[in-house]
Amino acid sequence: MKSFKIIFFGDIMGKIGRSAVAQILPEWQKKYQPDLLAANVENLAHGKGVTKKTLQELKDIGIEMMTSGNHVWRKEDANVLAKLPEFNLITPHNDPRTPAGQGYKTIIINDLKIFFINLLGQEGMVLFDMPDAPENNVTSPFKDIDQILDLEEAKNADIIVVDNHTELTSEARAMGWHLDGRVNAVLGTHTHVPTADAQILPKGTGYITDIGMVGAYHSVLGIDKDTIVDRFLNQSKITFAAPETGQAEINAIFLEIDLTTKKTVQIQLLRQMVEIL
């Protein structure tokens, strides 16, 4: 192998998102021939959290690595599911709910060690399942990533990919510069809005501020649009409802990493619409 190719799906929102990934994968596998499929799954089960059933659904269509974010604990206990080896699920390293060692993981593909790291941005990050927790319970992702990269597991990796689950674009961009040349890719998730800055930084790290989501197109971040508009008009209480059919947007990143130089040589935002019946 001269290079290694990854398709990484942004936050998959509920049933419509899972259906969209299943629909697009045969086409994208033929076109891009990825060596690994990965996804952020924090909103996999009806728009918030994960369940064993929904993780298995992704596993069955070929998703081999699953990262997450601050919503991942909203359904079944993500810490229990992360212990199941068949899913390769990790949770953000600097979230106080994540046990030691669950914020990163090595998977072996074609005899290569692919090391994934999951982080939360610190600024403005809300821990929804910990309403009394102060914001500073999220530790500094900058200090945490430095400690992780000092681990033997990281030093022995052939490829390192970071899911940077971040609220502020400034913090996301700063993390990209902090890690340029130290990891192969820094991929932003969380806001559900794809950014137009997919790029290779000067020292060879692939970067994007946010991949975007896989979910209902006529929505507000994957949630029923009328519900959210009413929330802003009338300060009404939100009952989250993710549409299950209709037009879906699929946002993902295609990465190609040169195995000789260990640098990213291609990063492309993949964006496509499909109809889910």
Cβ atoms of 192 and 215 within 8 Å: the answer is yes
CA distance 108 to 36: 10
CB-facing half-sphere around the CA of 107: CA atoms within 13 A:
20
Q: Are 238 and 228 in contact (CB under 8 A)?
A: yes
Q: What is the DSSP letter of 238?
A: P
Which helix (H) or strand (E) segment is 223 a member of?
Answer: strand 223-224
Measured CA to CA, the distance from residue 168 to residue 190 in angstroms comes to 10
Residue stretches of the annotated binding site: 11, 42-43, 70, 165, 190, 192
Which residue ranges are tagged as binding site for Fe cation? Answer: 11, 42-43, 70, 165, 190, 192
Structural contact between residues 250 and 271, judged by C-beta atoms closer than 8 angstroms: yes
User: Does residue 21 contact residue 252 with C-beta atoms inside 8 Å?
Assistant: no
Tokens 């500094």 locate to 140
The one-letter amino acid at 185: A
93 carries an active-site annotation: no
Q: Pick the catalytic residue: 46, 71, 93, 218?
A: 71
Which active-site residues does the annotation give? Answer: 71
